[in-house]
Every structure is written in C-alpha cells, then in structure tokens.
Amino acid sequence: MTDAPTPIDRTLDELIEDFEVLEDWEQRIAYVIDLGKDLAPLPDADRTPANKVPGCAAQVWLASGREDDRLMFRADSDSAISKGNVALLLKLYSGRAPADILAFDARAALDRLGLPQALTRQRANGLNAMVGRIRAEAMAAG
C-alpha cells in the first residue's frame, strides 16, 4: 500500500499536467506569466524592505501571515516572469502547515516542472531565493 499524496504533491501533479499539455517553453513561460496575472493585488503596506526578496533580478515582495496552523503568503513583483514564478510558488505553498512546507522538496519539484532550465541563471537564482524565503518563514513559524 502506498501513502496517499499530500495536498502539496497533488498541487504539484496538477501543475505538471498543465505544463505537459503545453507544446514548448515559450507557451510554458506564457502560462507562468498568466499565473502572475491572477495574483491578488499586494497592499502598499506589504511593499516594505522587510518583505523584499533579495537575490531576485526584479523587485519581489513576499509577505506572510498565519491562519490557524497554516502560513498564508501574498506576493507581487514588478516583472511579469518573476510575478508568475512567485504565483506558482504560492500555489504550492500558501495555506500549508509549516511542517508540510519544510518537508516538501522544492528543488526536485521545480526540476520536475523543468522551470529552472527554462529561465536565465539570474531568474533561476531569484526563484531559489523565493523558495528560500518561504522556507525561512516556515522555519520561523514552526
């Protein structure tokens, strides 16, 4: 008997299915950009230096809060690709318990999507910085 997939793994599987139906990386990057368009606007109060993610090619803000035992993330960027990348990460991580966030292998997940290979080195570094920030929030909350 195998363990049932966790909600975060199911979300990853759904993203992988979405990526697989797209024919090439141009369409996949367009899909990521579209994810960013669906982000709720980030309040100006959350656009603080403390919420800025260092290491990104563009300006990226990532704010977090708690609802019961779950971390909720809000984010925005001044770049369409970075905004899409952070939106993809929010699909995976927002609304999860800190322990679930820390147990999830983001690098393997992003590799399964093929996302780091489709990005410039600087954008891939920014994506890793966003994941690092989310994990740091989870460690602080755990």
What are the structural domain ranges in the chain?
7-141
CA distances from 56 to 67, 74, 107, 110 (A): 27, 17, 17, 17
Half-sphere exposure of 3 (CA within 13 A, CB side): 5
Instruction: Compute the C-alpha angle 55/58/64, nearest 5°.
Output: 70
CB 13 within 8 A of CB 5: yes
Say how far apart CA 32 and CA 88 lie, in whole Å: 7
- We find that the CATH architecture of domain 7-141 is Alpha-Beta Complex (3.90)
3-state secondary structure of 65: strand
Q: 82-101: per-residue pLDDT in tens?
A: 999 999 999 999 999 999 99
pLDDT tens figures, 58-74: 999 999 999 999 999 99
Between 90 and 111, name the one with better pLDDT: 90
Q: Is the pLDDT of residue 81 over 90?
A: yes
Active site residue ranges = 56
Is 21 a residue whose pLDDT tops 50? yes
- Contact at 8 Å (CB) between 61 and 47? yes
- How far are the Cα atoms of 71, 74, 83, 106, 137 from residue 142, in angstroms, in the given order? 10, 19, 26, 18, 9
> Phi/psi of residue 63, each to 5°?
-110, 150
What is the model's pLDDT at position 62? 98
- The 10s digit of each residue's pLDDT in 27-61 is 989 999 999 999 999 999 999 999 999 998 899 99
In the prediction, which pLDDT does 1 show? 42
Average pLDDT of every residue of the chain: 91
74, two tokens: 């809000």
The whole model's pTM is what? 0.91
Query: Mean pLDDT throughout 115-141?
Result: 91
Judged by average pLDDT, the poorest of 7-11, 65-69, 118-122, 133-137 is 118-122
CA-CA-CA-CA torsion for 37, 40, 44, 48, nearest 10 degrees?
-80
